[in-house]
Amino acid sequence: MNDASQPTFRPYLRPCRYPSAMSEAAADEAYDAAVVDLLGVLAYGELSAFERLCADAALAPTLDDKAEIAAMACAEFGHFQLLRSRLNELGADSETAMRPFVAPLDAFHASTSPADWLEGLVKAYVGDGIAADFYREISVLLDDRNRALVKEVFSDTGHSVFVVAKVRAAIEDDPRVGGRLALWGRRLMGEALSQAQRVAAERDALAGLLSGASGAGGMDLVELGRMFTRITEQHTKRMSALGLAA
């Protein structure tokens, strides 16, 4: 099937732009490292989302609300377990794979610690939404199996209906709440972007995946710009679903 004049690509890769100086083996290695990095950041993201939702559950005004948030926390933990299993399948140690992302993700959560129940709800919906959009965009650079895993991890678990109803009701009760939560939503977006940049800057393998240097397709600057536009549009949609100005 291969024409000798063409480089052979790993079947799951989009047309490859890795530098001609990089051998195929080196490209494979770079790609594998990028996948482990990506699964590592996702796994720790889910584990810390579990913890953060547990803290939110403690702020719940009723036992039903507490149970709803606890269900969201356990759904995140289920995703963590899927990601950890895949890391193990790939021969990676999950603790080692997650370790580089503990500090930046903890910093994100520390800088966006909800002051009350409503801020927690908005963070769960808006913050997770931004993360989900971002990782789904990146997943197009992955092979089928890992792309399917990322899709599953970020599938809507049906909890957004609960959050939207609670936040809209609170704004209806007291419209001033809407102004405060709109500011909060914007801050979440800003912090998420700055943490994402920090992670990409520190992790060569992930940056390589995005740029194509790791042997996968990668995105050029125009594509990156379009990706951020799409993420911003989705964020605006979520804010307006909550009744908030983005």
**Which residues here bind its own copies, judged by CB under 8 A?**
44, 47, 50-51, 54-55, 57-58, 62-64, 66-67, 70-71, 73-74, 77-78, 80-81, 84, 94-95, 98-99, 102
Q: How far is the CB of 107 from its own copies (least distance, A)?
A: 16
67 vs 169, beta carbon nearer its own copies: 67
54 vs 246, beta carbon nearer its own copies: 54
Q: How far is the CB of 149 from its own copies (least distance, A)?
A: 18
Q: Of the candidates 114, 234, 244, which has an alpha carbon nearest to the alpha carbon of residue 170?
A: 244
29 vs 51, beta carbon nearer its own copies: 51
Q: Of the candidates 168, 162, 173, which has an alpha carbon nearest to the alpha carbon of residue 67?
A: 162
Show the tokens assigned to 238.
Answer: 């979520």
51 vs 143, beta carbon nearer its own copies: 51
Whole-number Å distance between alpha carbons of 40 and 231: 22
Q: How far is the CB of 46 from its own copies (least distance, A)?
A: 10
Q: How far is the CB of 97 from its own copies (least distance, A)?
A: 10
4 vs 63, beta carbon nearer its own copies: 63
Whole-number Å distance between alpha carbons of 72 and 234: 21
Q: How far is the CB of 88 from its own copies (least distance, A)?
A: 12
Whole-number Å distance between alpha carbons of 105 and 1: 45
Whole-number Å distance between alpha carbons of 53 and 17: 41
CA–CA distances in Å: residue 207 to residues 65, 138, 175? 39, 11, 42
